[in-house]
Amino acid sequence: MSNLTRWEPVREMMTLREAMDRLFDDAFTRPLSLSGDSALPLIDLYETNDEVIVKAALPGLKADDVQISVRGETLTLRGEYKQENSKNGTTYHIREQRYGTFERTITLPIDVQSDKAKADFDNGILTVTLPKAEAVKPKTISINVK
């Protein structure tokens, strides 16, 4: 016994519309560097009471391979993943690792003291610690009781 499904042309049009929306989103809103030969490092950005902290995953890189700059409210990470030289006669069946230069610019949520920034590199994780500017740190006010 077969099941019959009622054909609803409106539902088919919505499916086509969703497919077209997805196509345009992928084509025009995805950063170009994700579709090319370089990949942007994945980051975590968070703040504490006194600092803004950025952690970037940079597997396979050394501290010397990364440049960090801070200008105003912008943090920029630059680096390069170097490709291993392939030997003659090597045939790749799958090659998913990305190689090439990358540059990731991050807008910081608040003003920081860039001259007091610190960076640590441990097991492929870069941690940049930026102290908050004094003007944006939360201030506590004591209350006098009479």
Q: Is residue 61 part of a domain?
A: yes
Number of H helices, E strands in the chain: 2, 7
Q: Is residue 50 part of a domain?
A: yes
Chain segment 61-97, per-residue pLDDT in tens:
888 889 999 998 899 999 988 877 777 888 888 877 7
CATH number at residue 124: 2.60.40.790
pTM above 0.85, yes or no: no
Sheet holding 51-57, edge to edge: 43-47, 51-57, 125-131, 118-122
Q: Which residues contact 43 (CB under 8 A, 6 or more apart)?
A: 54, 55, 56, 57, 104, 106
pLDDT value, residue 138: 67
Q: Is residue 31 part of a domain?
A: no
Q: Is the per-residue pLDDT at 120 higher than 90?
A: yes
The 3-class SS string of 50-94 reads CEEEEEEECCCCCHHHEEEEEECCEEEEEEEECCCCCCCCCCCCC
**Angstrom distance (rounded) from CA 128 to CA 121:** 9
State the residue range of the domain holding 130.
37-83+98-136
Q: Is residue 27 part of a domain?
A: no
Q: Which residues contact 88 (CB under 8 A, 6 or more apart)?
A: none
- Tally the domains of the chain: 1
Q: Is residue 73 part of a domain?
A: yes
Chain segment 18-30, per-residue pLDDT in tens:
777 777 777 766 5
Q: Is residue 104 part of a domain?
A: yes
DSSP letter for 47, please.
E
Burial 8-39 (b: 16+ CB within 10 A, else e): eeeeeeeeeeeeeeeeeeeeeeeeebeeeebb
Q: Is residue 56 part of a domain?
A: yes
Q: Is residue 25 part of a domain?
A: no
